[in-house]
C-alpha cells in the first residue's frame, strides 16, 4: 500500500489532471450517475469471508481511484453527488463463507490456477472430460436475455470525446459531435476466460461452477491448434483484453476484438479469438475438440 504522503501526492496529481482537462463537464447528470454506478460496481469485490471489499491489485485500484476522483470533482462542481444512486453490489454472505470460496478451496491440486472459466457445470464438464469447447459468435453476446455480466455489444463501442478532454490526434473526433460509435466490420468467434479467481464471479456468471486450468500454455496450444486446423485461413490468437474508458479513452486506436468497456475490467478477461480474413456478417456457434483436459484442469462447483 502507498504511504500517506504518496497517496496525497497522487490525489493532487489526479485533481490537477481534471482541472486541466475536465472531460466530464457538459455531460448530463444521468450520464454521470451511470458512470458512478459502473465505476463502483467494477471496483467492489466479495472477500473470502463474504464481506464487501475493494480492488486491491495496485494497477487496477489506481486506475479506478483516479477516475472516481475526477467524477467526484465534477459532482462537487454541480452541488454534490445526487441522492438515490444504487450500485449493484456482490452477494454478501458474511458470516457464512461464500459458496464459490468453499468450492475453490475444495480443489484437489495445490496450485492456484492460471486460467478460470466460470459457467454452467454441464458445459464445463464436457470441456474437461471430452475437450469439447463451444465458441460463440461475438454477435450473440448482444442478446438482451443474457445477464449483465455477459451481455455486451462485442461488435461496437461508443466513446464521448469531450471538447474539454485531452486532445485527440489518432481517434476519430468529427467536429460538432458529442459521441462516436465504432462498428467492427465482421463477426468472429470468441472464448472468454478470466486471468484470476474472484469469489463474486461464481455469482455473476450463471451456473455456479468453475473450470480451473493449471497449465495455460498447454491449454492454449491445444485450442489454438484445433482452431487453426478447422479454420486454416482465419486469424487465430489469444490475448488479455484492454478496457477502455468511454469518457476518457486515451488516443490509441480502439481495436474492438481486443477492447471492452471499462465496466467489465474486474473480470480480467483472457480471450481466444478466431476471426475470418474476409468479413462475415453473422456466424453460428461451433464446437472444437481439443482432447480431454483432465490432466491440466479441474472442475469445482459451488
pLDDT tens digits, one per residue of 128-152: 999 999 999 999 999 888 888 888 9
Half-sphere exposure of 6 (CA within 13 A, CB side): 4
Is 176's pLDDT higher than 90? no
Cβ–Cβ < 8 Å for 230, 218: no
Mean pLDDT to the nearest integer, 181-185 = 95
pLDDT digits (tens, 9 = 90+) for 80-133: 999 989 999 999 999 999 999 999 999 999 999 999 999 999 999 999 999 999
Query: Using CA atoms, how far apart are residues 280 and 14, in angstroms rounded to an integer?
Result: 43
Mean pLDDT, rounded, of the chain: 93
pTM: 0.91
Cα 69 to Cα 82: distance, rounded to the nearest angstrom: 16
Please count the other Cβ atoms lying within 10 Å of the Cβ belonging to residue 217: 9
| DSSP conformation class of 90 | P
Which grid cell sits at 111? 496450485
pLDDT digit string (tens) for 8-50? 688 999 999 999 999 999 899 999 999 999 999 999 999 999 9
Categorize the per-residue pLDDT at 168 as very low, low, confident or very high, splitting at 50, 70 and 90: confident
Q: Where are the domains of the chain?
A: 4-77, 108-301
Amino acid at each position: 500500500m502507498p504511504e500517506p504522503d504518496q497517496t496525497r501526492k497522487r490525489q493532487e496529481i489526479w485533481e490537477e489532471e481534471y482541472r486541466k482537462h475536465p472531460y466530464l463537464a457538459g455531460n448530463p447528470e444521468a450520464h454521470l450517475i451511470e458512470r458512478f454506478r459502473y465505476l463502483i460496481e467494477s471496483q467492489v469485490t466479495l472477500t473470502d469471508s463474504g464481506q464487501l471489499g475493494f480492488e486491491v491489485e495496485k494497477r487496477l485500484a489506481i486506475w479506478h481511484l483516479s477516475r472516481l476522483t475526477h467524477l467526484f470533482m465534477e459532482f462537487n462542481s454541480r452541488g454534490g453527488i445526487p441522492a438515490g444512486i444504487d450500485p449493484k453490489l456482490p452477494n454478501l454472505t458474511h458470516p457464512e463463507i461464500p459458496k464459490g470460496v468453499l468450492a475453490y478451496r475444495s480443489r484437489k491440486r495445490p496450485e492456484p490456477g492460471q486460467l478460470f472459466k466460470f459457467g454452467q457445470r454441464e458445459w464445463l464438464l464436457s470441456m474437461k472430460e471430452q475437450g469439447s469447447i463451444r465458441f460463440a459468435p461475438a454477435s450473440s453476446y448482444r442478446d438482451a436475455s443474457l445477464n449483465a455480466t455477459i451481455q455486451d455489444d462485442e461488435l461496437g463501442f461508443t466513446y464521448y470525446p469531450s471538447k474539454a478532454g485531452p486532445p485527440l490526434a489518432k481517434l476519430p473526433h468529427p467536429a460538432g459531435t458529442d459521441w462516436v460509435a465504432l462498428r467492427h466490420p465482421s463477426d468472429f468467434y470468441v472464448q472468454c476466460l478470466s486471468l484470476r479467481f474472484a469469489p463474486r464471479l461464481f455469482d455473476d456468471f450463471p451456473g455456479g461452477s468453475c473450470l480451473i486450468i493449471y497449465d495455460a500454455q498447454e491449454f492454449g496450444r491445444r485450442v489454438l491448434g484445433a482452431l487453426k486446423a478447422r479454420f486454416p485461413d482465419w486469424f487465430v490468437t489469444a490475448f488479455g483484453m484492454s478496457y477502455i474508458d468511454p469518457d476518457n479513452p486515451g488516443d490509441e486506436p480502439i481495436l474492438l476484438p481486443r477492447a471492452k468497456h471499462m465496466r467489465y475490467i474486474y473480470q480480467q478477461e483472457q480471450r481466444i479469438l478466431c476471426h475470418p480474413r474476409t468479413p462475415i456478417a453473422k456466424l453460428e456457434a461451433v464446437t472444437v475438440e481439443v482432447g480431454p483436459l483432465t490432466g491440466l484442469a479441474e472442475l469445482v462447483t459451488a
